[in-house]
Structure 1
Amino acid sequence: MFDCDLHTHSRFFHFDPSTGAAYDPIGTRLALAIGKRRGLDGIAVTNHDYFRPETLVSPTCIPGIEISTTKGHLLVVGPDPPMQTERGSLSPNAAVDLAHEHGCAAIIAHPFRNSLLRESNAPFDAVEINGKHPEYRRRIEALAEDRGLPIVGGSDAHFPFEVGRVSTRLDIDRFTPKAVVDAIQAGNVEPVFRDGPILRGIGSIYTAIHYTKRRLKSK
């Protein structure tokens, strides 16, 4: 068994691979350090619409990318993710096909936050419970049951202190990118939740931020 946070970012600012690229390895090292303290065996680095091999500073890093499709964000993790995608250019089906062509798993990220991926008939491999919105757990469980998909967990950390709030337990013997993909696609995974005053505080802040943004957009 291995425990991995399948949704982390190496920096807060994103969407432009060149801006602050030198920080990516540093951010990953910090995320790994926090993850280790919280009992993780590794993390997947899933920056928005780009992947850089130099970000993988340890064998405990799983390659990945978070693709901005026309309907929402798709987590792609595995041995050889796409290097770069154009934001909002790929349909859900095209993005999933691209992930599978690269030997990666395709996961619906935060399905109830700024996303309509859940309405697509694309052949997803799993659905995520996101660390920023654990309150959607019951809805995600219902979605997963309806679609026949396994559930994974990821913190969606953009800052190192967020890592590991939700992670994924993988029933594998070796922690390799291919083994992670195989476990996800076989359904040999389950989400892991961590609690504590710091993590609860982080969750409360994000919940307030996103509800405020939603109210402002509705006006």
Structure 2
Amino acid sequence: MGRKKPQNKVPSTTSSKVEVLSIIGDYKKKIEPELIVFDDSNLKKNNDANIYEWKAFMMKSTIKEKEEEELNKRHDAELEELLKTTKLLDLYTAEQLSGKELRKHKEKQMINLGAKPPKGDKVPTPIGLGILRKKRERETKELEEAKNLGLYHQSIKNNWAASAKKNNVNRDRGIGVGIGKIRGGILTLSSQDIKRVQNSRSRTPGIGRGGVKK
């Protein structure tokens, strides 16, 4: 038996036309521009609302600033009136004071304005001498303690000696009160008075020809 030859199918004319038309339709769709409609009516409404809100906000800010400015002006006026009253009180107080109290009042005002406070009042002489005496006694005690503890050093001695030379007055103070008798403006001393003066000088610690004892 012989082989059958394959038969070629011929496309129909109708189907080919349909395919061509579909391709052309798709192409036209791609070429035609897309129409977009823009409506800005809502945008204008929003803009109007935003402008209104912004104006209202600015009006509130302006009103608030004016109120604060008026309040500050009232406070300034009250403060100025208070300062005037205080100044009048200071003037009245200064007129009522005199002498030392007036000087202290003026010093206080100067300090309030930024001046340096004055140094403290001077210590009376008897109190000052007592303070110096206590200081010498304390230094002497410290020196003795250093010697007893074996901490004695030449620098400690020099410091103590320098302080003693500075504080002590190495001079003859003369005859004390209650020695001798004054008659007609003349001081008369007995032999006992002279011996007592000599003995008191010999018993004075730290005073001699060499000044402070070392």
Answer yes or no: same fold by TM over 0.5: no
Could you say which structure has the greater relative contact order, defined with CA pairs below 8 angstroms and 6 or more residues apart?
Answer: 1
TM-score bracket for this pair, using the shorter chain length: under 0.3
TM-score, L = length of structure 2: 0.19
TM-score, L = length of structure 1: 0.19
Q: Which is richer in strand?
A: 1
